[in-house]
């Protein structure tokens, strides 16, 4: 197949890890006979330096014209002042809105060969394979905001259709996995959570009776995620809760560098990025972990291009590299840590 992939490396370690993911996608194309075309554009702080805007019109136009977007990371200490009206992070929020990306998929898989890198006991992590789905475009992050000298407010709003589409997506994914869906809310306190719970319950009973549903308060979920993570299959939750819960879940595999993500909408176009940040303290040193970005490229193959066999091959190559002991510094290597480039080479060799 032919496909245009927009490449937005961004800031910090973004260009380093994205370069390895692009090399892997090129190798997948050669192996399976696909013609992937890559076009790169600036985003985040590097775009602000050049144009004053974190998401220049040309970058947005490229993202809208592509079959998928491969994204690196954004942010730099130079633009970290919270009082700034324009910051690099606005780019990702605008991309989600402009591309209609309402669901963030974050797989959390504990790979057997690197369980010792996790802060949790290995016996708690065996077989952990969780798909967390975070609602992306509603809730308190996008609600009306006010601030005076003496008070501030952030309005949290959800509509029935917003909750319905997340419930359906989660249920479809759960149906293809272990047929268990956990919906996380705070329905004992928040009205938006009561709406969330009632809509999810209705959708599941009417359309997915074969998928087991349980509800869990966010505070209980954060505890159980550490106490019995293997019990979770697919988890759905609202924007802010999902932001917090997925960062906690990322520690189960042992490093943010093993956690990919996919932001999806009603169409096949999606945005794919590692969940780690720009890590400016290690940028340019060639020591960043590229595995999360490479795994994000596998999600790109699966969800935007419909290439399941190719996605599985790329994921298997990452697992094989880990099994062979190719670990970057964040994964507590037993010997000399692998560089960004050598970790990418290890995946390529196994493709």
- Active centre residues (catalytic): 141, 186, 219, 243, 247
281 three-class SS: coil
Report d(CA 273, CA 8) in Å as an integer.
10
Biggest alpha carbon–alpha carbon distance for the chain: 62
Q: Taking Cα atoms as reference points, which of 315, 296, 319 lies closest to residue 9?
A: 296
Do residues 217 and 278 touch, judged by C-beta distance below 8 A?
A: no
Report d(CA 45, CA 50) in Å as an integer.
9
CB neighbours (10 Å) of residue 132? Answer: 26
CB neighbours (10 Å) of residue 156? Answer: 18
What does the DSSP assignment read for 275-315? SS---TTTTTSS----HHHHHHHHHHHHHTS--HHHHHHHH
């Amino acid at each position: 197949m032919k496909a245009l992939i927009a490449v937005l490396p961004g800031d910090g370690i973004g260009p380093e890890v994205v370069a390895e993911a692009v090399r892997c996608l090129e190798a997948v194309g050669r192996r399976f006979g696909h013609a992937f075309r890559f076009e790169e554009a600036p985003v985040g702080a590097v775009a602000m330096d050049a144009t004053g805007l974190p998401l220049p019109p040309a970058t947005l136009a490229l993202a809208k014209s592509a079959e998928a977007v491969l994204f690196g990371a954004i942010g730099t200490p130079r633009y970290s002042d919270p009082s700034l009206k324009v910051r690099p992070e606005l780019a990702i929020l605008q991309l989600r809105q402009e591309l209609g990306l309402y669901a963030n998929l974050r797989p959390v898989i504990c790979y057997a060969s690197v369980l010792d890198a996790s802060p949790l006991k290995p016996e708690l992590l065996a077989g952990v394979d969780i798909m967390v789905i975070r609602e992306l475009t509603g809730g308190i992050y996008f609600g009306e905001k006010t601030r005076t000298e003496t008070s501030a407010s952030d309005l949290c709003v959800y509509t029935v259709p917003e909750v319905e589409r997340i419930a359906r997506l989660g249920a479809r994914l759960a149906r293809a996995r272990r047929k268990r869906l956990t919906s996380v809310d705070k329905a004992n306190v928040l009205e938006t959570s009561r709406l969330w719970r009632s809509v999810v319950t209705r959708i599941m009973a009417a359309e997915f009776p074969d998928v087991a549903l349980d509800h869990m308060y966010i505070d209980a979920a954060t505890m159980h995620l550490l106490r019995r993570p293997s019990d979770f299959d697919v988890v759905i939750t609202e924007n802010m809760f999902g932001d917090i819960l997925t960062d906690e879940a990322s520690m189960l595999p042992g490093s943010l560098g093993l956690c990919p993500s996919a932001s999806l909408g009603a169409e096949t176009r999606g945005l794919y990025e590692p969940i780690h940040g720009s890590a400016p303290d290690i940028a340019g040193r060639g020591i960043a972990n590229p595995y999360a970005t490479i795994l994000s490229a596998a999600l790109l193959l699966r969800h935007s291009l419909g290439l399941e066999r190719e996605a599985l091959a790329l994921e298997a190559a990452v697992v094989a590299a880990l099994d062979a002991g190719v670990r970057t510094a964040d994964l507590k290597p037993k010997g000399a840590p692998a560089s960004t480039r050598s970790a990418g080479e290890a995946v390529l060799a196994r493709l």
